[in-house]
Amino acid sequence: MNRAEKIKELLYKTFHECPEDTGSAAMDERILSDASTSMKQAIAAYQQICPVSKWRIIMRTRTVKLTTAAAVLVAAFVLITWDRSTAWSFEQTITAIKQLNNLQIKGRMDYWSEPVDFNCWIRCPDQESELGAMRLECERMTMVARFRDETVYFYWPREKVVLITKQGSEIEDLKFWYQAAQMSPWLTGKIVETLRLFTDDWKQTIVTDPESGKEQVHVTCSYRPSNTSISFIVDTETNLIERGKMWMNLQRAGEPQFDGQTVIYNQEIPDDFFEFQIPPGVKIITQEDIEQCRVLLKKAEDLFNQKKYAEAMEAYRQVHDKCPHLNIAVEASMMVGICHNRLGEYDKEIETYLTAISEYSLRRGLGWIYFYLGHAYMDKGQNDKALEAFENCLVSNEGISEPDKFPLKDAREYIAKIKSQ
C-alpha cells in the first residue's frame, strides 16, 4: 500500500468507521420530526397547483409518462432478485444484474386510452460504461431509448413524425420515478432500492402457484404522489420476475397501464437492433424545437396575463403551428379558444375547441377543452350541446384528473344544473 492509499485508509478509519458522534436517539427524533413537518408542508403546497398548470403538466408529460411507467416496471423486471429471509439484498441484486444481458417483455399497455399489444426489448446496462438501451414497439408507436446519452427517439408511423428528445425531462408528476430512473446508471439496482425507499405500502407474500406447484412471491406497492401502483410476481427458483403490472391508480383497480405478460431473458439480439434509423419523409422534431415552443408558450402566457389577448392568441397559434404533434400544442389550441372568448368572439371560440378536439381525437385528457366548450355552449343557450360536452369531459379525463377537482367536479355540477332546468 503506497502512502496515498494509507492516507485514504486513515481518513476512512478516523471519520467513517469511527465517527466521533453517531448521534443520540433524541437527535434522530428531532431531525425526523422537523423533516417530516417540512415534507408535509411541501407536499401540501405542491398539491395547490392551479388546474390549468396541472392540466399542462399531465398533457405535456403524457408520452413520457407512458415511457417512464414502462421503464420502471422494466427496471423491476431486470433487477429484482429475492432474499427469502426478509426483503432486499442489494448485493444480490447487483450480482443478478451482471448476469443479465438482455430481456424481452411482451404484453398489453394503455396507449391514449386504447389497449394495445406491445413488445419491448431491453439491453441491460454495462456497469462500466453505463450503457443501456430499450426498444418499445406497438402498432402506433416505436420508442428507442439509449441511456448513455439519454436520447430517446419516438416514431409515430401514422403521423409520420419522429421526435428526438431527452428522456424524462418534464416528469413533474412522476418525479420520484423519474428521480429513480435518473440515478445513473438508469436501470440499475439503484432504481429498485429507490422503489423500496419511496413506496410506503410495500407488501410481499409467498404463495404456491396452483398450476405449476412452484413457489412464487407476489409483491405489491404504490406511490401516492404519482398515483401509481405496481404488482409483480417473482419466481423463487430463478429470482427473476415472471409477470408484472402497473396501474395509474393506488388501488390497482381496472385495467393496468402496463401489463407485462411474458418475459424472455438473455436471447440473441443484434447490436444494431437498438439503433434507430429515421425513416425517409418524416417530420423531425428536436429538443431545440421543443425549447423554442416553451419560450413561445411562456411569452403567450405573459401576454395573456397582461390581458393582451389578441397578441397572446397569435403566440399560442405559433406554438401550435411549430410543433402540432406535441402535447404542448393541445394546450395552445385550447388557449386560442379562451383568447377568442376574452375578445368576445364566441363563435370562433367554439370553432377553435371543435377543431382541437378533432385534431387530437385519439388522445385522452381533452377534458379541459370539452369543459370550456360546454361552457361556451351554455353561454349561447345551447344546453343540449353543453351537456354532451360536459359528459365528454368526464369520460376524457377519467383517471387523469382528480374527481373532486376541476374540471371533473365543475363538469358534474354543470350537468346537474342543466338537467335540473
Interface stretch with other proteins, choices 20-28, 73-81, 118-126, 341-349 (CB under 8 A): 20-28
CB of 260 to other proteins, least distance (A): 25
Among 25, 45, 316, 378, binds other proteins (CB under 8 A): 45
- Residue 141: enclosing H or E segment and its boundaries? strand 141-146
* 25 is a site residue for other proteins (CB under 8 A): no
CB of 181 to other proteins, least distance (A): 10
194 close to 183: Cβ distance less than 8 angstroms: yes
**Cα 28 from Cα 40, distance rounded (Å):** 18
b/e map 59-96, b = 16+ CB within 10 Å: bbbbbbbbbbbbbbbbbbbbbbbbeeeeebeeeebbeb
* 262 is a site residue for other proteins (CB under 8 A): no
For 242, which DSSP code? E
- Which is nearer to other proteins, 47 or 261 (by Cβ)? 47
β-pairing verdict for 102-111 and 114-123: antiparallel
* 15 is a site residue for other proteins (CB under 8 A): yes
Residue 270, phi then psi, degrees to nearest 5: -60, 150
Interface stretch with other proteins, choices 95-103, 190-198, 212-220, 402-410 (CB under 8 A): 190-198
* 294 is a site residue for other proteins (CB under 8 A): no
* 211 is a site residue for other proteins (CB under 8 A): no
CB of 71 to other proteins, least distance (A): 16
**Cα 187 from Cα 103, distance rounded (Å):** 12
Residue 241, phi then psi, degrees to nearest 5: -80, 135
- Which is nearer to other proteins, 155 or 178 (by Cβ)? 178
Among 89, 100, 218, 225, binds other proteins (CB under 8 A): 225
CB of 189 to other proteins, least distance (A): 12
CB of 150 to other proteins, least distance (A): 11
- Which is nearer to other proteins, 54 or 320 (by Cβ)? 54
- What lies within 8 Å, CB to CB, of 38 at 6+ separation is none
* 20 is a site residue for other proteins (CB under 8 A): yes
* 347 is a site residue for other proteins (CB under 8 A): no
* 43 is a site residue for other proteins (CB under 8 A): yes
Residue 171 Cα distances to 61, 167, 174, 268, 290, angstroms = 6, 9, 5, 33, 15
* 16 is a site residue for other proteins (CB under 8 A): yes
Burial of 399 (0-12, 13-18, 19+ CB in 10 A): middle
CB of 39 to other proteins, least distance (A): 4
CB of 50 to other proteins, least distance (A): 15
- Which is nearer to other proteins, 36 or 238 (by Cβ)? 36
Interface stretch with other proteins, choices 107-115, 172-180, 259-267, 322-330 (CB under 8 A): 172-180
- Which is nearer to other proteins, 49 or 418 (by Cβ)? 49
Among 67, 194, 231, 239, binds other proteins (CB under 8 A): 194
CB of 179 to other proteins, least distance (A): 5
- Which is nearer to other proteins, 112 or 202 (by Cβ)? 202
Number of residues counted as binding other proteins (CB under 8 A): 49
Among 104, 112, 137, 198, binds other proteins (CB under 8 A): 198
Rg (C-alpha) for the chain, rounded Å, is 25
292 close to 322: Cβ distance less than 8 angstroms: yes
Q: Which residues face 120 on adjacent strands?
A: 105, 136
* 295 is a site residue for other proteins (CB under 8 A): no
Helix (H, G, I), strand (E, B) or coil at 146: strand
Burial of 215 (0-12, 13-18, 19+ CB in 10 A): middle
CB of 100 to other proteins, least distance (A): 22
CB of 180 to other proteins, least distance (A): 9
Helix (H, G, I), strand (E, B) or coil at 395: helix
Unique residue bearing C-alpha cell 443501456: 132
**Cα 20 from Cα 17, distance rounded (Å):** 10
396 close to 367: Cβ distance less than 8 angstroms: yes
CB of 35 to other proteins, least distance (A): 4
Strand order of the β-sheet with 228-235 is 203-208, 215-223, 228-235, 240-247, 258-265, 102-111, 114-123, 133-138, 141-146, 151-156, 161-166, 283-285
- Which residues lie near other proteins (CB under 8 A)? 3-4, 6-8, 10-12, 14-16, 18-23, 27-28, 30-32, 34-36, 38-39, 41-43, 45-47, 172, 175-176, 178-179, 182-184, 190, 194, 196-200, 225
